[in-house]
Structure 1
Amino acid sequence: MNRETFLQLIGIGGMAPFFNYKAAMVDGKGVIKPKALSRGDTIGLISPAGIIGDDTDYDKIVERIQQLGYKTKEGANARRKYGYLAGTDEQRAADLNAMFADPSVDAVMPFRGGWGCNRILDLINYELIQKHPKILVGFSDITSLLLAIQAKTGLTTFHGPVAKVVWTTFTKRHFHKLLGSSALTTLRRRSLHVSKEYDRLNIIRPGQARGRLLGGNLSVLTAMIGSDYLPEWEGSILFLEDVGEDVYRIDRMLTQLKLSGILDRISALVFGQCTACDISDEHGFTLREILDQHIKPLQIPAFSGALFGHIDHMGTLPVGISAELNAGEGSITLLESAVRT
């Protein structure tokens, strides 16, 4: 079989769009859990969004992932450059589809986020992904892929590190534990001694609630509203993070979530870190005031300052898995395993 025939069989040769595909969901809420990731397994590295730099930069990142104990396999287009994108939309989507089709690849991880994942959502072969489920992990712009794939296939995805992150001891420990075992982990705000570096725990409204964990980067999520690539929000625990946004933009995006009906359907909310989110107007609101204004009226358990987002010490959260949020403790505890062992 030649390469062209192979690509056509898995749906990426002619890049026929699959946006009309609807996954068959058990009881309307079925979840597909990927196989756990063990050291020695192969991580497929792709670039579905932005570029990084020259080959030396990529080589250093590949070496870092290998030092974590994994083998690596790069997408055919992973180092391409097309303006500020890592290849054309078709090339970037082709690598994602090919990694899920490749039986030698155990998990898929982007080199970085940036911008561009929204542009390939209608080029993804969701039926292929559902038939060949495996771990997909990333954050920031990768939110598009995490939510779309979870919504279309039922596959649990993971909001966590991309390949280029710092990989601190905390980041590695949480990554290995969540993706490598069936342990019911807890992401707890007070568990990290370096917490002074980040936004402090802010209890917006105390209480406990259970629901499916859904969310990601606020900017990316709001850019997806109105599309066919978002999950059902009813009763979910919404988690959000962002970077480099003026507080008034956070206000605008939370307003959009309210007007779209998302905030009225969730059972709880946690805002992670809003890194470098500044106030440009001396008469403006603080981030805490904006969160209070939007979240307190919902009368649901909520807190901010959780350890996920654009930070070095990064927790990993499964998208689509049942969890319990305890706002008073600043904790998120999984109620079921995120992977199958």
Structure 2
Amino acid sequence: MQYPNALIAGSKIAVCAFSSGVAEAFQPRLALALAQIEALGFKLVLDPNLKYNHQHVSAPKEIRASQLMQYLLDDSIDAIMPPWGGEFAMELLDLLDYDKLAAAKPKWIIGFSDVSTLQIALSTRLGWASMHTANLMQLVPNQQDDVTQAFYHAITLGKGECFSQTPSNYFEKKHSNIIENPETPYNLTEWTNWQTLNWPNKTVSGRLIGGCLDTIVFTLDSPYFDLAHFCESYQQDGVILYIENAELSPTAWLRALLMLKFRGHLSRINALLIGRHAAAIADKQLDFYQALKQAEIHIPIMFDMDIGHQAPNLTLINGALCEITPELELKQTLI
């Protein structure tokens, strides 16, 4: 893997809305998040389309792709942080020039949700490590929980270094109203309980790769998410796949798991990590746990983790070597 440089005071971060932009009602929150990043000593470059949002995107796909390519090829830029995810990052994947990008300096792509659509493409196709973690719009000064604070440590690490994380104490089931109260942190009211299936009483390890299943299920087995090739490339270390679910119903979730199984991907990985489900259960005949059991997956599984749309979010580095102890501590090494 190619690890981008550690971020230090003076590092330049491009805030690029390559999926959704930020509508006017959310811009006070955006201002707080940008000020928080600047307070850390980072220099910001703002996408001209950052504060526009129409039909789920900040601009037509050609404009978004051109702006993103500009930042990806600019070797003075150290990281790209979208404000948040969205719906249509996928539109950009075949508009990027990967031959030119292969000669550019790797940059951290930071965030989650639709951000992972781009992260996986760059991590699996170019070998750039990327950082699946809280989105920019969540990083306001009042966000002081330990899991989010771990992000600020992770961005200071360089190749060869490592860091560890453990489960949060509480998670957010009902989002705070950030329009009425832009400064509000997570509404952490629910007890966190990571659970396991088929988990051995020993350390499980492998290279991390993953993201939002709602989007990456549509790029899987394409040139933008060749999981089989990624697993083959890291056969010696093994691979740990992590996924999270924003909107899939339990029935759609089960179909997605079976698709992963039928295509042979679950037999290629050492473990499957699953975030908490943010989607509501409309059909009471089947819940997410029942769907997981019904898929009959016979590899180590950890679920209800701090990954995805029910904050807080672990910082998971695509490409990093991850070791998970029986005590549920995740140690990631940037090698």
Shorter-chain TM-score bucket reads 0.7 to 0.9
Which residue in 1 is equivalent to 2:284?
A: 282
Which residue in 2 is equivalent to 1:32?
A: 2
Match runs of 1:171-210 below 5 Å:
171-182=147-158, 183-189=161-167, 192-194=168-170, 197=190, 200-207=193-200, 208-210=203-205
Contact 1:127 1:153 in 2 (8 A): no
Aligned-pair RMSD on alpha carbons? 2.2
Provide closer, same or farther for how the CA distance between residues 199 and 213 of structure 1 changes in structure 2, counting only shifts above 3 A. same
Q: Residue 290 of structure 1 aligns to which amino acid in structure 2?
A: A
Contact 1:78 1:95 in 2 (8 A): no
Query: Unaligned regions of 5+ residues in structure 1, if any?
Result: 1-30
- Match of 1:243, SS state, is coil
Q: Residue 283 of structure 2 aligns to which amino acid in structure 1?
A: D
Residue 332 of structure 1 deviates from its aligned partner by 2.4
Which residue in 2 is equivalent to 1:133?
A: 106
Which residue in 2 is equivalent to 1:214?
A: 209
Among 47, 55, 58, which residue is 2:17 paired with?
A: 47
Among 93, 99, 117, which residue is 2:71 paired with?
A: 99
Q: Deviations over 1:131-164 (max 9, x none)?
A: 2211111110111101101122111111112211
Match runs of 1:23-172 below 5 Å:
31-54=1-24, 56=28, 58-130=30-102, 131-167=104-140, 168-169=143-144, 170-172=146-148
- Match of 2:227, SS state, is coil
Which residue in 1 is equivalent to 2:241?
A: 238
For residues 47 and 214 of structure 1, what CA distance do their matches in structure 2 show? 23
Among 265, 270, 289, which residue is 2:268 paired with?
A: 265
- Match of 2:136, SS state, is coil
Provide closer, same or farther for how the CA distance between residues 172 and 57 of structure 1 changes in structure 2, counting only shifts above 3 A. closer
Residue 119 of structure 1 deviates from its aligned partner by 0.5
Deviates more, 1:240-249 or 1:146-155: 240-249
Which residue in 2 is equivalent to 1:13?
A: none
Which residue in 2 is equivalent to 1:309?
A: 308
- Match of 1:271, SS state, is strand
Contact 2:4 2:78 in 1 (8 A): no
- Match of 1:91, SS state, is helix
For residues 75 and 238 of structure 1, what CA distance do their matches in structure 2 show? 32
For residues 54 and 17 of structure 2, what CA distance do their matches in structure 1 show? 12
Q: Residue 327 of structure 2 aligns to which amino acid in structure 1?
A: E
Which residue in 1 is equivalent to 2:235?
A: none
- Aligned positions, number: 300
Q: Deviations over 1:60-102 (max 9, x none)?
A: 4422332344221112333344432110111111121111222
- Match of 2:207, SS state, is strand
Identity %: 25
Query: Unaligned regions of 5+ residues in structure 2, if any?
Result: 172-188, 232-237
Q: Residue 163 of structure 1 aligns to which amino acid in structure 2?
A: L
Q: Residue 14 of structure 2 aligns to which amino acid in structure 1?
A: G
For residues 72 and 206 of structure 2, what CA distance do their matches in structure 1 show? 28
Which residue in 1 is equivalent to 2:331?
A: 333
Residue 198 of structure 1 deviates from its aligned partner by 5.5
Contact 1:187 1:307 in 2 (8 A): no
TM-score after normalising by structure 1: 0.81
Q: Residue 283 of structure 1 aligns to which amino acid in structure 2?
A: Q
- Match of 1:197, SS state, is strand
